[in-house]
Amino acid sequence: MDEITLKALAKINLGLDVIRRREDGYHEVSMVMQTIHLYDRLEIAKSHEPGIHIRSNLNFLPVNENNLVYKAGKLLMDEFGITDGVDVNLEKRIPVAAGMAGGSTDAASMLYGMNRIFDLGLSRRQLMERGVQIGADVPYCIMAKTALSEGIGEVLTEVAPLPDCFVVVAKPTISVSTKMVYENLHANELQHHPDVVGMVDALKQGDLSGVASRMENVLETVTTKLYPQIEEIKQTMKESGAENAIMSGSGPTVFGLYTEKATAEQAAEKIRQQYGLSEVYVTQPC
């Protein structure tokens, strides 16, 4: 195999709790992660020209060592002494800097693709072990199932999938710094924590309403104060028929779960018009 084309799936956080801030500065989390049918496309091919060469449809994206795709490729090249070069065409569809693991899922696909085209023989578990060196979300993106994520995000347990539904995803035209959000969280002082255990049980029972009723993201305690539009979009989704709506990751993307496609599409159009947003999508869990 000399080339491969892959879909790099976006993720949403059905629940996101921060247990505490550790002495090493990292945060201990408890999250329920879900992949959705919104994805970037990577075309990865061997090249006779040494090095990693990335092209993208977004001209503001770095295509050097500052790109996680590059870091993923270099990690395997260095470990296995790969001398051939690699050409990557990265078609971005997942909103950038949106709390949907866009960079991490691209890196995960790069690891998977390099493993295939260079016949490295690494198992999924071995790829996940390497992925954590690039970013905490990368192992999950390699796993790409509904999962409970613990530790700093690297301890993953597969759980029952989200029942069939429709997901409206809306990315506000604001930028949120993940570092800033965590620095302002004061995790050890949180008085309320999401019912992540109850959500896992609801998933096991196939109870969409039970999942939706437990959807919470403690990072909203920081972001909604600084960016009121996040809360406004959540409320618009709920008023437009969502079972519930929350922010994904450190934001600013908001998503809502809907039982009917027509209702979801109407809600998406309302959000586009009301907030002047271009990055609004109707998709499904996968």
Q: Are 283 and 166 in contact (CB under 8 A)?
A: yes
Residues 6+ apart with CB under 8 A from 285: 34, 35, 36, 37, 146, 161, 162, 164, 165, 167
Q: Is position 40 annotated as part of the catalytic site?
A: no
Q: Is 137 a catalytic residue?
A: yes
> How many angstroms separate the Cα of 222 from the Cα of each of 77, 191, 218, 225, 250?
40, 14, 8, 6, 9
Choose, from 17, 40, 106, 137, the residue flagged as catalytic.
137
Q: How many CB atoms lie within 10 A of CB 99?
A: 27
Active-site hit among 11, 71, 92, 171: 11
Token pair for 92: 């971005």
**Intra-chain end-to-end CA distance of the chain, in Å:** 27
**Residues of 7-33 as b/e, b for ≥16 C-beta within 10 angstroms?**
ebbbbbbbbbbbbebeeeeebbbbbbb
Neighbours of 273 (CB within 10 A): 10
Which residues are annotated as catalytic? Answer: 11, 137
